[in-house]
Chain A
Amino acid sequence: MKKRMVSVIVHNQNGILTRLMGLFTKHHYQIESLAAAVYTEAKEFSKISVVTEAEDDHKFLQLVKQIDKQIDVISVEDITDQYVIARELSSIKKVLI
């Protein structure tokens, strides 16, 4: 299993996040991390970053192409092999029971 990261720029329209996540579900990818935020300088657009695990490069490329096909997706990039700054948010979890 290889960790994969994609970065998607979307046009802020109703349901776009559902559409994207639906594609991950359809291709049986589990989402490890998801971050979505509006661009402060261009509120019409958002950036969505997704980390997932994928075995097959070819299949993952198909997913990327299908993301690109969505009407409200401006661009999508597989940034797995690029230099990226990865940040994690540490949070204190309430212990169950």
Chain B
Amino acid sequence: MESKQAMLNLESEELKLNGADVLIQALKQEGTEILFGYPGGAVLGIYDALYRSPIKHVLARHEQGAIHAAEGYARVSGKPGVVVATSGPGATNIVTGIADAMMDSLPLVIFTGQVASQVIGTDAFQEADVVGITTPITKHNYQVKRVEDFPRIVKEAFHIATTGRPGPVLVDIPKDLAAQHTAASLQAEINLPGYRPTASPNPLQIKRLLAALSESKKPLILGGAGVLHARASHELLTFSERYQIPVVHTLLGLGGFPAQHPLFLGMAGMHGCYTSNMAIYECDLLINIGARFDDRLTGNLDSFAPKAKIAHIDIDPSEIGKNVETHFPIAGDAKAVLQMMMSQKVKGPDSIQWLNHLEQYEKSHPYWYNDTHELLPPQHLIELVHKHTKGNAIVTTDVGQHQMWAAQYYSFSLPNRWVTSGGLGTMGFGFPAAIGAQLADPGATVVSLVGDGGFQMTLQELILLKEWGLPVKVIIVNNGSLGMVRQWQETFYDKRFSHSILSQQPDFLKLAESYGIKAYRVSTSEEAERIFPEVLADREPVLLDCRVNPAENVYPMVAPGKGLHEMIGVKP
């Protein structure tokens, strides 16, 4: 009798739920603990349901801040970042972040409000065709048409965002549907007959690759972000150690292999190190694990790995053969493929000579910079950050010179500690991403390395450090310019610095002060050396305005159209 009563209660409880309630319940079922968002007219219902829910909500001060924070959260936690934005301008403000997450394969689930069903298509107040706008930059998107579909769509959205090659999934919710009541069960079934996210690797291709490895004299592994997404760092280390294969990383792959390891050569690509780029040029077998042969990595394709047979391991079959002809195409999850490769023991390559040869390169052509002793070299600043964080910090960046120096001089030894905008190259990404990263790992030291240009794109999020008590260290690598633009103008446009010098700057110390955040200015190596221990020991947010040598450029560099072996600015 009692249980029957309970069932009746439950039924009537369910009947009381509206679309927004169902959404919040479904989010809880998916294990969502935190939302990043900004309210507005079309999501008032969702925010009302949120008011009654224990899910935390981070109120960014601009939707772009919310979505980059969600990206940082996703990168560090490995869980999907969940974002809420309102219709029209709210939704268009997150477009950059969606494209960024798509390019760097970050799992996001984004909910946007939409005007009421009956006025969709009438150019109603705050209406934008969000599904249309985001179609090319989402892994998948939905517009909810019936309130009964909420549970299924939310379930599918999380499933799609996190499986296979991760990516952003958007759900557009008309305002009236969020308010409509439903008796729909929360136990929805996924209905995706066309979605086959887990490709199982072809054993024959793996056998052929292992046979080629045995024959190889100059093998090389190129590790991309796919290694990190698959949580396959341990397998990568075991595999490369077993067969003594040296490893290079893409920009986004950094941290997938310990930087101090003798088999690690460094980052490859446009601003990669000499050894890595020459290793790609000279190798006879290139095993690409989870990288997509981006043009910033390959340089001129005509002279990319010209002597090598190429193996490409990727969870997304459409990446294989896209840019580079592949001899051993292996579609599959990096971890599964590495495990399968290690289940078979074959004769290893005879790589001693190759390793010795590369070691010579490492000795003769390391990264280098001029130390003038008067001005703070930005590269040394990064070295100091590394020294004082013992290489354990989560480092987030914007895009540009400071990003490349961070990639070159902060030796990443742990996976998922490096949060940067690779594919899209988004200025303004680094600071909000640090907020998400710190929320994902509250105990970690989070350093947000930003340029003075990029920081000004999203600095309004400073208030979140105060609001959430986040001890993020904001380090502005301040060279008073859009450094990478300036560098290209210096090199390729005959020093015509067209609109790349930021002659007027805010006083970043006063700015921090107005947000209630401690701030210091640093202009020399000595000052930096003195202040870092105190700043990093402090569990409070700190902003450092580091005035670095404005004339420094990022080297070495592969100029556009050139091959990886034609670097300029190599240590003489």
Q: Do A and B come from one complex?
A: yes
Question: Known contacts A10-B194, A15-B131, A22-B135: does B160 contact A71 (CB below 8 Å)?
Answer: yes
Classify the interface of chain B: helix, strand, loop or mixed: mixed
Bound complex: CA of A75 vs CA of B195, how far in Å?
10
Query: Residue B321 contacts which of A22, A61, A70 (CB distance < 8 angstroms)?
Result: A61
Docked pose: A59 CA to B428 CA in angstroms: 34
Known: A61-B321, A68-B317. 13 other contacts (CB 8 A): A15-B131, A15-B135, A19-B135, A22-B135, A44-B193, A58-B321, A62-B321, A68-B318, A69-B317, A71-B140, A71-B194, A73-B194, A74-B193
Q: Nearest Cβ in chain B — how far from A57, in angstroms?
A: 12
Decide if A69 touches B316 in the complex (CB within 8 Å): yes
Contact in complex: A11, B135 (CB < 8 Å): no
Q: Which residues of A contact B (CB under 8 A)?
A: 10-11, 14-15, 18-19, 22, 26, 44, 58, 61-62, 65-66, 68-75
Q: A65-B318, A69-B318, A71-B160 are in contact. Are A15 and B141 (CB under 8 A)?
A: yes
Are A26 and B136 in contact, CB atoms less than 8 angstroms apart? Answer: yes
The reply to whether A14 and B318 contact each other, CB–CB distance below 8 Å, is: no
Asked whether A14 and B194 contact (CB < 8 A) given A22-B135, A62-B321, A69-B318, the answer is no
Nearest Cβ in chain B — how far from A47, in angstroms? 13
Inter-subunit contact B317/A11 (CB<8 Å): no
B56 within 8 A of A: no
User: Per-position contact with A for B310-329: 1 when CB-CB < 8 Å, else 0?
Assistant: 00000011100110000000
Chain B 138-172 interface 0/1 with A at a Cβ cutoff of 8 Å (1 = within)? 01111101000000000000001000000000000
* Neighbour of A62 across the interface among B136, B192, B193, B322, CB < 8 A: B322
Tell me, yes or no, whether B572 is within 8 Å of chain A by CB. no
The yes or no answer to B132 lying at the interface (CB within 8 A) is: yes
Q: Does B135 lie within 8 Å of A18, measured CB to CB?
A: yes
- Docked Cα-Cα span, A21 to B557, in Å, equals 38
9 closest cross-chain pairs (CB), A and B: A65-B318, A71-B140, A74-B194, A66-B318, A73-B194, A69-B318, A11-B194, A71-B195, A72-B194
> Do the beta carbons of A22 and B192 come within 8 Å of each other?
no
Q: Given the complex, which residues of A lie within 8 Å of B317, measured CB to CB?
A: 65, 68-69
B interface residue numbers (CB < 8 A to A): 131-132, 135-136, 139-143, 145, 160, 192-195, 316-318, 321-322
User: Beyond A71-B139, A71-B160, is A11–B192 a contact (Cβ under 8 Å)?
Assistant: yes
- What residues of A have a CB within 8 angstroms of the CB of B160 in the complex? 71
Q: Which residues of B contact A18 (CB under 8 A)?
A: 132, 135
Q: Is the CB of A14 within 8 A of B321?
A: no
Cα A62 to Cα B316 with chains together (Å): 12
- Please give the distance in Å from B425's CB to the nearest CB on chain A: 19
A42 nearest CB across to chain B (Å):
10
Contact yes or no, B145 A14, CB < 8 A: yes
- Chain B nearest CB from A92 CB (Å) reads 32
Give the residues in chain A near B193, CB-CB below 8 Å: 11, 44, 74
Looking at the assembled complex, report how far the CB atom of B163 sits from the nearest CB atom of chain A, in whole angstroms: 11
Quick check: B140 and A14 within 8 Å, CB to CB?
no
Complex: A70 Cα to B318 Cα, angstroms: 11
Smallest Cβ distance from B520 to chain A, in angstroms? 47
Question: Can you give 14 contacting A-B residue pairs, CB < 8 Å?
Answer: A11-B193, A14-B131, A15-B131, A15-B141, A18-B135, A22-B135, A26-B136, A62-B321, A62-B322, A65-B317, A69-B316, A70-B194, A72-B194, A74-B194
Within the complex, the shortest CB–CB distance from A30 to chain B, in Å, comes to: 18
Give Cα A94–Cα B181 distance, bound, in whole angstroms. 50
Inter-chain contacts of A65 with B (CB < 8 A):
317-318
User: Which residues from chain A contact B135 at a C-beta distance below 8 Å?
Assistant: 15, 18-19, 22
Q: Is A71 a contact of B318 with CB atoms below 8 Å? A: no
Q: In the docked arrangement, what's the CA distance between A44 and B193, Å?
A: 10
B-chain residues with CB within 8 Å of residue A68 when the two chains form the complex? 317-318
